[in-house]
Structure 1
Amino acid sequence: MSIAADERRTRILEIVRKLGTVRVTDLAARLDLPAVTVRRDVATLAETGLLRRSHGSVSVPDERAGADARTLGLIVPTVSHTVSQYFDEVIAGARAAAADAGAHLVLGISSYDPGADRGQAEQLLKSGAEGLMLTPNWMSTSNPDDRLWLNELPVPTVLVERRAAVGTAAAELDSVSSDHHHGVLLALRHLAALGHDTVALAARRDTWTALKVRSGYAEGCATLGLTPQPVIDIDDPATAPERVAGQLAEAVGRGVRAALVHNDQDAIQLPALLRARGLSVPEDLALISYDDVFAALGAPPLTAVAPPKRAVGAAAVDLLLRRLRHGSALPIHRLELLPELKVRASCGRQGTA
C-alpha cells in the first residue's frame, strides 16, 4: 500500500528528530521505502528548511547551522592549466562543504607574483570575509619576513595545501594539506612491488607540490632501499617533454625500467614521445604520474598518485568554521590528508599498492 507524500515526510521528520542525524539509506530502510523516494522527500524538506543535508546524511537544522552562516574567503593560485585544474577540485570541495554548513564562499585567484596574495586577502576582507583559507605563494621569495603579514590578518586563517615550517611566522596558523611525501612513497612502493629496484623521477620545481615530490622521492628511496637517480628537471613545459623523453630513454638504456613524473600535463605526453624512440609504456618503462588531474585520459591510462584535493577543500572549511566558533579555545590544527594510488595500465602488472 502506497503512502501519501505528506505522510511520508511527516514520518521522515519524526525519525530524524528522534535520531538527530541519520544516513538517507538507513532512513529508507527504516521506512521500508525506495531510497530514491526518500531522497526526493528529503530534498523537498531541505528546500523548505525543515531538514539539513550533508554528505549522504540528514539532520534537523540546529543552532550550529545558524552560527555557521558565515562569509568565508578562499584564495588559490593559478599559474598553469594543470595547477588551475588541481585547485578547481579544492574549490569544489570547499564550495560543497560551505553550502552544507550554510556558509557563503567568496573566491580570490592569486598569481605567483610577490604581493599578490596580500592584495587578494585585503580585497576579500573588504568583501566581508570573516575568515580566510589561503594557499600562499611561497615560491617567489625566500625572505621569511615577507610572510609576517599572515600573522597580522584580522580574521582566523587556515593554510590550504601549505604547511609552515616550525619556528616560522606562519607556524601557528591552522593548516590542511595533502601529505605528498606519503603520496610519493605509495608510488615507489607500488613500483618496488613490481620488481623495480630503481625508479627515475622527472619533476618540476615551480610549485609547492613539486618541491614536496622531490624531497619525498629522496626520503622514499631511502625508506624502501631503492637506488636514487638524479632528478630529471622539467623546467620549460613547452620544450621539456622532448628532452625528458630523451633522458628517460637514456635511463632505460642504463637499466632503469620505472619512472614517476610530476605532473599529469608532462606525464601524459611521454608515452607517444617514447614510442617515437622505440620504447613502450609499460613494456619498457612503467610510468606513474603525480596529481591525477587527467591521468586517466592517457594512452595508456596512467597510474597516478591522487592527492585528496576535494577533501582538503572541505576539511579547510570545516576547520575554519570551528575556529570561528571556538576561537583560541580550539588548539592549532595541522591536518595532513593521505593521497591514494589509482592503479591503471601504465605500470603493467598491478602488484601491491
Structure 2
Amino acid sequence: MDPDRKHIAESRHAFIMREVELRGTVRIGEIAQRLGVNDVTIRRDIIELDRRGQLTRVHGGAVRSDATTKVEAGKLLIGVIVPNISTNCTSIVRGMEVHARSARARLVLGSSHNEVETEQQCVDRMVGLGVSGIVIAPTVRGTTLDAVSRRATSIPVPVVVLERDLSNVLDGNRLDNVRVDRNHGVALALRHFQRLGHDAVALAIYDSVLVADQIRDGFHGAAAHLGLTHEIDVSLPYASERSEDLTGAIEKLLARCAESGTTALLVHAEGHAGRIVDVALNLGIRIPEDLAIVSYDDIHADLAAVPLTSVSHPNAELGREALTLLVDRIDDVRTSSTPRHIMLLPELTIRSSCAAAVA
C-alpha cells in the first residue's frame, strides 16, 4: 500500500477505535459522515479491525471486542445508556465504574445522542449481549414523559432510570429512579443570596437544556418562599464563543438588573455564567460588589475571570447509587419489591463571585 494511503487508513482506524472505546459501539454511517468518506471505506476498515481482533463487527457497525465475549463466572454485565459523552455523564459513569469492581460487574456503555431510535438500538443491542440490567437516562427531547415511561417499562431486564423525574406519569412509579434534587440546589443559591443581604434576585437560563423547566420552577418557588423579589427571568441564546446575540442579550440583562436594583443573579449553566462575568467586567460592573452571581453548574466554574460560586451535583455518587440500586434489583428480581426513588442533594461551593455581604 502507498505510504500516504497507509497513514490515512491508520488514522481512520485509530479514530474508529477511540470511538469504540469511548462509546462501546459505532455506526458505519455516522463514522463515514464524521470522517468525510463513504460507507464502503469504513466497512472495510471495520472488517480489517475485526480481523485483527481489535473490535467485533456487527450489523451496521461494530462493538468493543470484549462486548460479545462470555462474561467471567459470577460477574454481572450491566448496560449504561446516557444521552452523550459529556463531562457530567463521564463523571457519573466513573462513579459507576468504581462500584462495579466491588460488585463484580462489567459495564457496557452506549450513547443515545438524544435520539429515541438510537436509544432503542442501544437497548436492543445490550439485551442481545445478555446484560443483567440497564441504567438509563432516557431521551426526553422530541417525545413525552408518558412515552419515555412506556419505553423504560418495556425493557425486558431490570432498569434504573437516571436523572429523569417520571413519578407523575403513567407507570413511572414502577421504575427505580436516582436523580439530583434541583429544587434543593436552587434553594441553596437563593438562601445564600439572602444571607448576604440581597433582596432582589434574577434568573438567566439556557432554555434548550432538558432541566430548564425544573430550575425555573425551583427558582420562582424558592424566591417566593423566601420573600425575594424575582421579576427578571431571562432566556439566553446558545453560549457559542463569538455569539453577538448572546453578548447583546447579556448586556440587556445587566441593564435590567441595574435599573431594577437587582443585585443577585442565578445562571444556568456555567458557560453562560462565565460570559456574563466577562461582559459585566467590560462594562465596569464589579463582581460581586455590584452584582453577585451563582452558577448552576460546577465543572470549570473556578476558572472564570471571577471564580464562580456554584451549585455542584454529586455526579460520582449519583453513578454509584444507580449501580448499587440496579445490582440490588437484579439480586431480588424474582421477588416483588417496592420501587425505590433516591434523591441526592447538591452542594453550594462558595467562591469570589458571591462571597461578600451587600455593602
Residue 143 of structure 1: CA displacement? 6.8
CA pair 68-237 structure 1, distance change in 2 beyond 3 A: farther
Q: Bigger CA drift: 302-311 or 269-278?
A: 269-278
Cα-Cα RMSD: 2.0
- Counterpart for residue 136 of structure 1: 138
Matched position secondary structure for 2:211? helix
* 1:39 corresponds to: none
1:42 corresponds to? none
Task: Write out per-residue CA displacement over residues 225-259 of structure 1, whole angstroms, 9 at most, x where no aligned residue.
Answer: 11122421023222354134213311123211110
| Inter-partner Cα distance in structure 2 for 1:337 and 1:159 | 14
Q: What TM-score do you get using the length of structure 1 for normalisation? A: 0.75
Alignment partner, residue 49 of structure 2: none
Displacement after TM superposition at 1:67 (Å): 9.5
> How many corresponding residue pairs?
282
**1:202 touches 1:244 (CA, 8 Å); kept in 2?**
no
Instruction: State the partner residue of 1:87.
Output: 89
Asked if the contact 1:249/1:277 (under 8 Å) is kept, the reply is no
Structure 1 segments of 4+ aligned residues over 6 angstroms from their partners: none
Q: Paired residue for 2:278? A: 272
Within 5 Å, give how 1:290-329 maps onto structure 2. Answer: 290-327=296-333, 328-329=335-336
Aligned partners of 1:331, 1:165: CA distance in 2, in Å? 14
Cα pair distance change 1:204/1:95, threshold 3 Å: same
Q: CA deviation at 1:146?
A: 5.4
Greater mean alpha carbon deviation, residues 97-106 or residues 184-193: 97-106
Unaligned runs of 5+ in 2: 1-71
Compute the TM-score of the two structures, normalised by the length of structure 2: 0.74
Local SS of the residue matching 1:300: coil
Cα offset for 1:101?
1.4
Superposition map of 1:42-191 within 5 A: 69-78=75-84, 84-142=86-144, 144-145=146-147, 147-191=149-193
User: Secondary structure at 1:231's aligned position in 2?
Assistant: strand
Q: Percent identity at matched positions? A: 32
The worse-fitting range, judged by mean Cα deviation, of 313-322 and 194-203 is 194-203
Aligned to 1:234: 236
Asked if 1:343 is matched to 2:350, the reply is yes
Q: Which whole-Å CA distance do the structure 2 matches of 1:297 and 1:146 have between them?
A: 37
Measure how far apart 1:206 and its partner are: 2.1
Deviation at 1:313, TM superposition (A): 0.4
Q: Supply the distance in 1 between the matched residues of 2:263 and 2:275 (Cα, whole angstroms).
A: 18
Change (3 A) 1:207 1:313: same
1:285 pairs, out of 284, 291, 313, with 291
Superposition deviation, residue 198 in structure 1: 1.1
Confirm or deny: 8 A CA contact 1:86 1:291 kept in the other structure: no
Instruction: Tell me by how many angstroms 1:214 deviates.
Output: 1.0
Tell me the distance in 2 between the aligned counterparts of 1:129 and 1:350. Answer: 53
Query: Aligned-pair distance for 1:149?
Result: 2.1
SS state of the match for residue 136, structure 1?
coil
- Whether contact under 8 Å (1:232, 1:247) holds in the other structure is no
Secondary structure at 1:221's aligned position in 2?
helix
- Between the aligned partners of 1:333 and 1:254, the Cα distance in structure 2 is 45
Three-state SS of the structure 1 residue aligned to 2:204 is strand
Name the CA shift for 1:237/1:140 in 2 (closer, same or farther; >3 Å). farther
Contact 1:68–1:101 (Cα < 8 Å) also in 2: no
- Which SS does the other structure have where 2:342 is aligned? strand
Give the distance between the partners of 2:163 and 2:271, measured in 1 at CA.
20
CA distance in 2, matches of 1:305, 1:232: 19
SS at match of 2:231: coil
Whole-Å Cα distance in 2 between the matches of residues 159 and 303 of structure 1? Answer: 30
> What displacement does 1:317 show?
0.3
Distance 1:313 1:143 in 2: 22
Contact map agreement 1:131 1:324 (CA 8 A) in 2: yes
**What CA distance in whole angstroms lies between the structure 2 residues aligned with 1:274 and 1:159?**
40
Mapped to 2, the partners of 1:67 and 1:261 lie a distance apart of: 49
What runs of 5+ residues in structure 1 fail to find an aligned partner? Answer: 1-65
Asked whether the equivalents of residues 67 and 325 of structure 1 are also in contact (C-alpha less than 8 Å), the reply is no
Q: CA deviation at 1:69?
A: 2.3
Kindly provide the amino acid, as one letter, of the partner of residue 293 in structure 2.
Answer: L
Q: Which residue of 2 aligns with 1:12?
A: none
For 2:148 and 2:180, locate their aligned partners in 1 and report how far apart those are by CA, in whole Å: 24
Amino acid in the other structure paired with 2:253: L
Q: For residues 357 and 324 of structure 2, what CA distance do their matches in structure 1 show? A: 36
Looking at structure 2, the residues matched to 146 and 337 of structure 1 have their Cα atoms a distance apart, in angstroms, of 22
With over 3 angstroms needed to count, the CA separation of the structure-2 counterparts of 1:171 and 1:247, relative to structure 1, is farther
Distance 1:273 1:192, change over 3 A: same
